[in-house]
């Protein structure tokens, strides 16, 4: 039986009305969060599931959260620059590069358990100290010209960048010419990079070096052992903790919702989770910006001309300092 033209139109209208009555699922918004590559990618992805679930619950059903594990922090900078990552947990040096090169914004600073002089506190900054044995004949940094020094890492903010800037500030090292990094051997006779504050302390105790540096963000037992057996000659700081940066591609209102959700991770029940992705001293987050949080680091880098370098460290705990792999000159 052939249907009339009017009946076909009526059937079509009814079908269209039925389709319109079926609830349509709104497309989800993808939010990519980059975390520090402190473990293998598979391990981080597994450990990050509670973080992913937390963010999706806080941000609502319209947001699909994806945890991204970069091969390097330099890769995160590029991902932020091109909108491939929207949020990143970063160390201060890498975070500064993201601000300078990717037009990213630093929005949160890590509050961590640190020690200022002898006082344990919770803060977004800390200090580091030049120390010599208590029976050392040296009473000032100027006395150590031509002597032996130990540093934890060539890009440690507190263990090398800040101390080198302090030597320049005191006139003990010349500010390097454009295109060259500060050279500690222009002052010290021997320079050792031991891979951490603990090994440097062991070298000082063994008499292998004459001076080293200790920071207020190392484990408390190590810090108090060092300070109990040394004399402090100088200090530098304030030195910034880790932070959270966001890409310019993260727009409102989602941007503000993400920041508030991350602030919620300061609750005690999330502390052990976040210590896997920020630092072993994590307490919470505090709102800030790059000028307030990274200004001192930026000044240190202008004096020393030290380039960014990194390597992925497997199973890193504690405060979290990057070590050398590839060097990226700052603009």
DSSP letters for 99-154: HHHH--EEEEEEEEEEEETTEEEEESEEEEEEEEETT-S--SGGGGTTSEEEES-T
What is the rounded CA–CA span in Å between residue 146 and residue 190? 7
Range 143-148 average pLDDT: 98
Instruction: Categorize the per-residue pLDDT at 45 as very low, low, confident or very high, splitting at 50, 70 and 90.
Output: confident
User: If we measure between CA atoms, which residue out of 67, 73, 40 comes closest to residue 54?
Assistant: 67
Instruction: Categorize the per-residue pLDDT at 43 as very low, low, confident or very high, splitting at 50, 70 and 90.
Output: confident
Which pTM was predicted?
Answer: 0.84
Instruction: Please tell me whether residue 190 adopts helix, strand or coil conformation.
Output: strand
Q: Reply yes or no on whether the pLDDT at 272 is more than 50.
A: yes
Give residue-wise pLDDT tens across range 176-224. Answer: 998 899 999 999 999 999 999 999 999 999 999 999 999 999 999 999 9
25-29, long-range: CB within 8 Å, 24+ apart, which pairs? 26/62, 28/61, 28/62, 28/63, 28/64, 29/62, 29/63, 29/64, 29/254
Instruction: Categorize the per-residue pLDDT at 310 as very low, low, confident or very high, splitting at 50, 70 and 90.
Output: low
Peptide bond into 156 cis (omega under 30): no
| Residue 146, both tokens | 């031509």
Instruction: Categorize the per-residue pLDDT at 57 as very low, low, confident or very high, splitting at 50, 70 and 90.
Output: very high
Give residue-wise pLDDT tens across range 235-258. Answer: 999 999 999 999 999 999 999 999
DSSP single-letter state for residue 28: P
Asked whether 236 and 120 are in contact (CB, 8 A), the reply is: no
> 215: which strand partners?
128
| pLDDT for the residue numbered 37 | 67
| pLDDT for the residue numbered 260 | 97
| Residue 13, both tokens | 């209208």
User: If we measure between CA atoms, which residue out of 176, 124, 180 comes closest to residue 295?
Assistant: 124
Q: Reply yes or no on whether the pLDDT at 92 is more than 60.
A: yes
Q: Among 26-35, 58-67, 96-105, 110-119, which is the least confidently predicted range?
A: 26-35
What is the rounded CA–CA span in Å between residue 34 and residue 199? 31
- In DSSP notation, 73-97 reads HHHHHHHHHTTS-SEEEE-HHHHHH
């Amino acid at each position: 039986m052939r249907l009339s033209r009017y009946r076909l139109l009526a059937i079509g209208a009814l079908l269209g009305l039925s389709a319109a009555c079926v609830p349509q699922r709104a497309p989800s918004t993808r939010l990519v969060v980059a975390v520090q590559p402190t473990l293998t990618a598979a391990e981080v992805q597994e450990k990050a599931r509670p973080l992913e679930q937390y963010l999706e619950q806080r941000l609502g059903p319209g947001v699909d959260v994806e945890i991204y594990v970069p091969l390097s922090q330099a890769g995160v900078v590029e991902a932020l620059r091109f909108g491939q990552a929207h949020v990143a947990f970063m160390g201060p040096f890498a975070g500064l590069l993201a601000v300078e090169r990717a037009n990213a914004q630093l929005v949160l600073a890590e509050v961590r358990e640190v020690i200022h002089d002898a006082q344990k506190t919770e803060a977004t900054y800390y200090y580091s100290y030049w120390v010599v044995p208590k029976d050392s004949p040296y009473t000032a940094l100027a006395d150590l010209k031509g002597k032996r020094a130990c540093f934890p890492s060539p890009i440690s903010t507190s263990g090398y960048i800040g101390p080198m800037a302090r030597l320049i500030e005191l006139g003990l090292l010349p500010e390097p010419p454009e295109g060259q990094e500060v050279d500690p051997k222009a002052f010290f006779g021997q320079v050792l990079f031991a891979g951490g504050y603990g090994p440097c302390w062991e070298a000082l105790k063994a008499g292998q070096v004459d001076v080293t540096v200790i920071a207020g963000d190392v484990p408390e037992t190590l810090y108090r052992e060092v300070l109990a057996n040394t004399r402090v000659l100088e200090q530098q700081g304030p030195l910034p903790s880790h932070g959270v940066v966001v890409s310019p591609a993260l727009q409102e209102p989602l941007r503000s919702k993400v920041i508030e959700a991350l602030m919620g991770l300061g609750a005690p029940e999330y502390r052990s989770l976040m210590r896997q992705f920020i630092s072993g001293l994590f307490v919470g987050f505090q709102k800030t910006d790059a000028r307030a949080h990274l200004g001192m680091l930026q000044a240190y880098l202008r004096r020393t001309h030290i380039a960014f370098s990194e390597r992925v460290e497997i199973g890193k705990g504690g405060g979290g300092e990057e070590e050398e792999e590839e060097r990226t000159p700052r603009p």
